[in-house]
Structure 1
């Protein structure tokens, strides 16, 4: 945090250097990926002013300064949550205290999840989903609500997913998968014996599989083609509700959907416009 202290202290800073320092403090999460030319433009200063400021603060140049800022951003993402993921409120908490705690828990969960995501892995998982003829979603309880939300979004890009455990037909659905399909498992605990048998079957048949779990020690991981692990400070049973785990699942699935959408962004937007006209003003309109 030393770099942040120096930026706030601003001892012996010129007016232009103060302007750069203030911008960095207010936009600290953007600095690790910003170019010096862009920072100069945004602060109405110059390349030499920024280099001079970096050296005045004890850094060799802009790169070492950015590395120090990256450390601050990383530590902020890893700050321990003051909100208990299992009991995020107490009996004596006021209504707005509960609301603030849930908001803080939600934001903290997304930050932690983002920090655990790997770019190459996300791209690989998205590619499996993109190439699959059918997407079978395996999930139970609250996680199935997240799966249904994902299923609903996929319809917007003409991809149709199947909730495999709807009507207790998971065994039939599992037996119908082919190598052209894929199976996506949502299991925070990652301890389902039935899922283990299914994943073994899919592995034997060379059927692509994706596992999203919160258990780094899950015995399902070796059987899945790709695994996204999102660890949260949430117990299996002793908790008020599945807050953190479900926020994390929703965030990951929303991210995957967005990556899929972006793959064919222009055609998806055109399709959206066409379908909206048909549904709102065309023969499919409810008001006709």
Structure 2
């Protein structure tokens, strides 16, 4: 859930509701206002602002204000004419659908790229690079999105294990070795089984990388490192998960590419040697596909 949605739905007191309404009305205008300014304009106090922020799971007013302004910027920057939930209508012909799906998926990648921060990406890559085993926890079709990631890393001798059996992933989290890390993929960040997995991993002191929406969610809060997905789809009311799937695939491809780059020449030679040895019967008459 977006912070703005949370503010609209939270059962605040009358005074806190007035603060929420003020913030939603003023939006960017609060950027250069102090907490004293806002307290005065909302007929409250600085301590009331702190309590307001804490009810929304922030340490204090400064953390809340930063998150609020960042979310506003994200939403305003990524408004699109294409509805990620229903990107085409019953009246669209096949070619129109083709263009709309292509544009939606391009926007999902651009959107996700804009959320990538150097520090978070570097930390995620470092965690995976140091780990002897990467445990991937996800649900539903997100498990399918992780298959190619596992395949690619295995080709450069990185051990990746995708845990699919319902209930069994809790045992895998508990039994994970200290030298491993966990990658949790959850768009909502509130999947009950994955939140339970997070708690076990934290108890076992296993580093967690979360791929999740930019909403203020439980899995994001539990993770040691967060990479954010384009956040444009509703949970249930949609034709498919086009935008989210493309965002997840992009981030997983990005992580693999960064890991590959750490030992670029060795990994390139390894993949080429292995492919030539194993796939020697593959041929093509196309000059484009022809190997030197």
Q: Deviations over 1:126-146 (max 9, x none)?
A: 111111111111011111111
Q: Structure 2: any 5+ residue segments left out of the alignment?
A: 1-72, 284-292
Other structure's SS at 2:218 match: coil
Give the Cα–Cα distance (whole angstroms) in 1 for the partners of residues 275 and 151 of structure 2. 16
Partner residue, 2:98: 99
Task: Kindly state the Cα deviation for residue 185 of structure 1 after the two structures are TM-superposed.
Answer: 0.5
Q: Deviations over 1:97-154 (max 9, x none)?
A: 0000001101111111111110111111011111111111101111111111111111
Contact 1:164 1:174 in 2 (8 A): no
Q: Cα–Cα, structure 1 residues 270 and 231, in superposed 2: closer, same or farther, change >3 Å?
A: closer
Partner residue, 2:193: 194
Q: 1:66-215 maps to which residues of 2 (within 5 A)?
A: 78=77, 80-166=79-165, 169-215=168-214
Task: Kindly state the Cα deviation for residue 286 of structure 1 after the two structures are TM-superposed.
Answer: 9.0
Runs of 4 or more, structure 1, over 6 Å off, are: none
Task: Kindly state the Cα deviation for residue 82 of structure 1 after the two structures are TM-superposed.
Answer: 1.4
Q: Cα–Cα, structure 1 residues 166 and 152, in superposed 2: closer, same or farther, change >3 Å?
A: farther
Give the Cα–Cα distance (whole angstroms) in 1 for the partners of residues 179 and 275 of structure 2. 31
Across the aligned residues of Structure 1 and Structure 2, the Cα RMSD in angstroms comes to 2.2
Contact 1:189 1:215 in 2 (8 A): no
Contact 1:199 1:223 in 2 (8 A): yes
Partner residue, 1:253: 252
Q: Deviations over 1:152-196 (max 9, x none)?
A: 111121112111124752122112102200111000011122222
Q: Deviations over 1:47-77 (max 9, x none)?
A: xxxxxxxxxxxxxxxxxxxxxxxxxxx99x9
Give the Cα–Cα distance (whole angstroms) in 2 for the partners of residues 216 and 109 of structure 1. 16
Q: What is the TM-score when the length of structure 1 is the normalising length? A: 0.69
Contact 1:230 1:248 in 2 (8 A): yes
